[in-house]
Structure 1
Amino acid sequence: MGGMASGMPQVLQQRPLTPAAPPTPPEPVKSRHPLGDRTHIPAGQKLIFTVLASELALARQYATPAAKRPLDDAEKKLNVLFDMLNNEEVSGPVVEQMLLLSQALQAKNYNSAYQIHLELHSTRTDEVSSWMTGVKRLIVDNAKLQQQQ
């Protein structure tokens, strides 16, 4: 459209460096691996994925029809976490806590897992809020299963 906006340099400074850029949505700073890809989860973090995936399978195995939808919702949230792990977007402290939580789940120590979940939820709310309710669902459902057996 119109030429230079002379006398208004502040307007020019706010423009992106490529004024002729096509109107496409901005790309994320770091390109992400495709959704659902799990092949780039760092070796030291794979335990989080494998344990949560197996806990989800366990919960599904014993789920009542009424519990299916909450588990579908939990799975969507877990996939957010798995995608973040796959793209190395989870901070070190959260990874450490999630490894401890995963080890507790693996040992069927649901009380410990729940305590770690509470701590993460209160200290790292911004980072974990998009997926932690999915983790909580597994802890609660599978703790109930353990009590019934």
Structure 2
Amino acid sequence: MASADVSRVPADQKAVLASLNALFNACLPLANNPARKREMDDNSKRLGALFWRLNEGQVSAHVVARLQQLCAALDAGNYPAATQIQARRGKVELTTSDWDECGTWLTALKRLIKVRQMAG
């Protein structure tokens, strides 16, 4: 994540970067065993891939809009809402309709939200 070039991320998407960085940094101190540390390393790589795609303009407008909604919920501390933001009619939309685009980083995002929610 830290090494991902974000110099060309559009201004309206910079809040997504800030929110996801804050989420990651809040979860990092909770990685207090080797398995959790490996998971955090994996999360960093996966989110780095998302940051790179945002920088390259390779994230669809639909997915960017969902990410912006999700990050607004994260910033408000509403983790249950963040988990459900991508849901529509009982289906997890990013998982079902946009998996090809989101699959690389969505796993990390779900893990981090879960850890943050459990930490309180």
Place the TM-score, normalised by the shorter chain, in its bin: 0.7 to 0.9
* Alignment partners' CA distance in 1, 2:83 and 2:18: 18
Match of 1:88 among 57, 73, 81: 57
Matched, 1:137 2:105: no
CA contact (8 A) 1:71 1:137 kept: no
Matched, 1:111 2:80: yes
Per-residue CA deviations over 1:103-144 (Å, capped at 9, x if unaligned) read 111111111111124321122111101111011111111000
C-alpha RMSD over aligned residues: 1.2
4+ aligned runs moved over 2 Å, structure 1: 116-119
* Alignment partners' CA distance in 2, 1:73 and 1:36: 14
* Structure having the larger proportion of residues in helix: 2
TM-score (norm 2): 0.88
Task: Map 1:1-149 to 2 at 5 A.
Answer: 36-65=4-33, 66-117=35-86, 118-146=92-120
* Alignment partners' CA distance in 2, 1:140 and 1:87: 28
**Is the partner of 1:129 in helix, strand or coil?**
helix
Q: Which has the higher contact order (CA 8 A, sep 6+)?
A: 2
Task: Tell me how far 1:63 sits from its aligned partner.
Answer: 2.2
* Alignment partners' CA distance in 1, 2:36 and 2:76: 24
TM-score (norm 1): 0.71
Task: Tell me how far 1:62 sits from its aligned partner.
Answer: 2.4
Any stretches of 5+ residues in structure 1 without a counterpart? 1-34
Per-residue CA deviations over 1:38-60 (Å, capped at 9, x if unaligned) read 11110000111110011101100
* Alignment partners' CA distance in 1, 2:10 and 2:29: 28
State the identity as a percent: 37
Bigger Cα Rg: 1
